[in-house]
Amino acid sequence: MVLDAATITRIIFWGLVAGSIYTLLATGLNIIFGVMKVVNFAHGEVMILGSYVTFYLWSMAQLNPYLVIPVAMLVVAGLGMLIERLSFRPIKGTSKINEIFLSLALILILQNAMAVVAVANLRELKPVLISSPFRLESIPLGPVNLPNDFAVILSVTALVLVGLFLVLRRTGFGRRLRAVSQNRTAAALMGVDVERMDMISFGIGSALAALAGAFLAILAPFDPYSGTFPAIKAFAVIILGGLGSIPGAVMAGFILGLSESAAAFLLGGVWKDAIAFAFLTAILVVRPEGIFGERG
């Protein structure tokens, strides 16, 4: 394949859009891990929950799907806080195997619950897709036309990440959240409600997963089992970026997306996952602690 300017531009845009989904998913995971020090293996199912909530809100309201995404994020954030309160909080501080078992149980519970609801509403379990009003519209940009959906997804992702950075760095709430992440005991002694920060961090992480799920629902068909592989990639992203590092998750997410896009265009879609993970593995061999991780 000849790598002309148009092909390179397409590779970059597809990679950035895929990277946006991975980055949002991994950033949510990193916030939860950074504050609570727990790993939620059911995070991919939370993402698909966001896909379904967005899909049903869009179906009922008959509005532009991008307008219902904030409502879907709030709904999934509330469900995420409920999951933290009823599931993870009671086992906090116990064996890590309990957290793993709970996460695996949540995967099955959420997958089956979404399947039951989907069958009840759609009469059969089949992949569904949100029809964006921008699907056939594009913006002329150099040698290619940039789909409007891509432009919206990239813009919203950038705004959300910048807003999250400002909240974490410039507000009292952000300082309390970072204090809990750095030292839970010291933060509690300084008057920070640690358990409240745990619940809020889980809600924020779930909301970011819901946003990623909404974008996925606009770009490709999904079903209750579509969250497994994106979750695996999100874990790869946070390992590559450095556990607990949000800048690392952002950078690694876009690296993964661009690697997949390049592999798909140059070698075919069947190679995109293998090449992308081989690339991530090579980086980890050189820097095992991740891009922003601290050397031991």
- Is residue 146 domain-resident? no
Phi and psi of 57, rounded to 5°? -65, -45
Instruction: Tell me the pTM.
Output: 0.93
In a domain, 234, yes or no: yes
The stretch 106-125 carries a mean pLDDT of 91
Query: Does 143 fall in a domain?
Result: no
Instruction: Kindly state whether residue 141 falls inside one of the protein's structural domains.
Output: no
Q: Is residue 140 part of a domain?
A: no
Task: State percent of the chain over pLDDT 90.
Answer: 56
Beta carbons within 10 angstroms of residue 71's beta carbon: 14
Tell me if 136 is assigned to some domain.
Answer: no
- CATH of residue 165's domain is 1.10.3470
Looking at the domain assignment, is residue 40 inside a domain? yes
Report the pLDDT averaged over residues 92-103: 86
Residue 58's pLDDT is 95
Q: Is the pLDDT of residue 140 over 70?
A: yes
Q: Is the pLDDT of residue 295 over 70?
A: no
pLDDT at 1: 55
Do the domain assignments include residue 296? no
Q: How many domains does the chain have?
A: 1
Angle formed by the axes of helices 246-267 and 148-170, to 10°? 160
Q: What is the DSSP letter of 270?
A: G
Residues 156, 161: Cα–Cα separation, whole Å:
9
Evaluate if residue 296 carries a pLDDT over 50: no
Mean pLDDT of the chain: 89
Q: What is the pLDDT of residues 102-114, one digit of tens each?
A: 999 999 999 999 9
Give the pLDDT score at 294. Answer: 53
Residue 268 sits in which domain range? 5-131+151-286
